[in-house]
């Protein structure tokens, strides 16, 4: 089952169930203390509650008639890094002085985890993602993303774009928070696929297309099965000695990095497709 937040033509926002090419409104007023998508995601039985909340009086609305919003409420957004061989090699290339850190973290037991965004820094589908004015070499990172409830359970998956300033990170690993965390540094959406329907890692293709002036200037693809780490293991490390009273999103790292000569430009369009979830598209703004 897929859930989303949408804005309708009249400007009202709703939580919906997405069924193929249509959405169905959920009537959250039926349950006390259930007001947001996160309230459903954090319930004991998210798919059961969502099915109960489907408003029988509301018909189906075509997906083309609604605007999908980022499926986030008050959750923290975290990310894992260097979880695919491609990312390890790319980081070692970009970082003259810090290369060995990336080499070691790829095979270490403890993964790289970093704080990625607060909800106000997250863009939804078709909203801009940003390249920092002080970066000449930024790229999008297409990442399979976990939705984790306050009890620490993975309850859903979505698509994440971990926008990254490779030149800032490459200059000094201590600049990582500035390379990764700034206004519009992350996009999430368009839906949360609940984990009641399992995804097969070998069939979960993660694909990115970057367009410039209507033409594809970079395409790349990997599979979730190429990731070195297990999803539960990554979530387990995040939860060690940590509490998430509002839940968390965890981007699980990129397996696709454009060649070193590629840098995003203003007005590029980034499209990330993950099989079984959908496509997250965002225009790029600069400065
Ligand atoms: O160490 C830098 C960040 C790595 C990252 O974001 C990734 O591998 O996806
Ligand atoms: Mg990343």
Residue 7 confidence (pLDDT): 98
Question: Is residue 98 pLDDT above 80, yes or no?
Answer: no
Residue 88 confidence (pLDDT): 84
Q: How far is CA 65 from the centre of its chain?
A: 23
- 145 vs 251: CA distance, rounded Å: 4
| Ligand 1 pocket member 253 (CB < 6 A) | yes
Distance (Å) of CA 274 to CA 115, 147, 188, 204, 268: 23, 15, 12, 7, 20
Residue 103 confidence (pLDDT): 86
Band (198; pLDDT cuts 50, 70, 90): confident
CA of 240 to the centre of ligand 1 (A): 20
Mean pLDDT of 64-86: 96
Q: Whose CA is nearest to atom 9 of ligand 1?
A: 253
- 233 vs 106: CA distance, rounded Å: 14
3-state helix, strand, coil in the chain (%, to 5): 25, 35, 40
Tell which one of 97, 103, 105, 112 to mutate to probe ligand 1, the residue whose CB is within 8 A of the most ligand atoms: 112
Q: Whose CA is nearest to atom 3 of ligand 1?
A: 81
Distance (Å) of CA 198 to CA 73, 155, 203, 249: 24, 11, 11, 18
> Residue 209 forms beta bridges with which residues?
219, 271
CA of 17 to the centre of ligand 2 (A): 29
- 262 phi and psi, to 5 degrees? -90, 130
Which segments within 126-185 are labelled E, that is strand? 129-131, 138-139, 142-148, 154-162, 164-165
Ligand 1 atom nearest to CA at 79 = 6
Band (94; pLDDT cuts 50, 70, 90): confident
Band (101; pLDDT cuts 50, 70, 90): confident
- Consecutive H or E run containing 234: helix 231-239
Question: Is residue 99 pLDDT above 80, yes or no?
Answer: no
- Indicate the Cα dihedral angle 177, 180, 184, 187, nearest 10°: -130
Instruction: Output the CA torsion sign for 193, 195, 199, 204.
Output: positive
Mean pLDDT of 12-32: 96
Q: At which residue do the structure tokens 């800032």 appear?
A: 168
Question: Is residue 284 pLDDT above 90, yes or no?
Answer: yes
Band (218; pLDDT cuts 50, 70, 90): very high
């Amino acid at each position: 089952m897929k859930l989303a937040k949408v804005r309708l033509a009249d400007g009202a926002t709703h939580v919906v169930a997405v069924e193929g090419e249509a959405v169905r409104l959920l009537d959250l007023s039926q349950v006390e203390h259930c007001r947001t998508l996160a309230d459903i995601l954090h319930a004991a039985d998210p798919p059961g509650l969502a099915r109960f909340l489907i408003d029988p009086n509301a018909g189906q609305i075509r997906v083309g008639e609604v605007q999908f919003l980022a499926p986030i409420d008050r959750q923290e957004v975290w990310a894992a890094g260097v979880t695919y061989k491609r990312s390890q090699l790319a980081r070692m290339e970009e970082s003259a002085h810090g290369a060995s850190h990336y080499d070691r973290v790829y095979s270490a037991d403890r993964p790289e985890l970093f704080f990625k965004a607060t909800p106000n820094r997250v863009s939804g589908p078709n909203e801009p993602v940003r390249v920092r004015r002080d970066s000449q070499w930024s790229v999008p990172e297409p990442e399979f993303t976990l939705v984790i409830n306050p009890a620490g359970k993975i309850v859903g998956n979505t698509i994440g774009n971990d926008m990254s300033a490779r030149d800032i990170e490459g200059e000094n690993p201590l600049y990582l928070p500035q390379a990764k965390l700034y206004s519009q540094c992350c996009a999430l959406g368009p839906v949360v696929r609940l984990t009641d329907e399992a995804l097969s890692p070998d069939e979960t293709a993660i694909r990115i297309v970057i367009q410039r002036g209507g033409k594809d200037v970079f395409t790349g693809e990997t599979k979730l099965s190429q990731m070195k780490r297990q999803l539960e293991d990554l979530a387990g490390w995040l939860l060690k000695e940590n509490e998430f009273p509002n839940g968390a999103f965890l981007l699980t790292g990129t397996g696709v990095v454009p060649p070193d000569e590629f840098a995003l430009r203003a007005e590029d369009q980034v499209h990330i497709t993950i099989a079984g979830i959908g496509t997250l598209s965002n225009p790029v703004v600069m400065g």
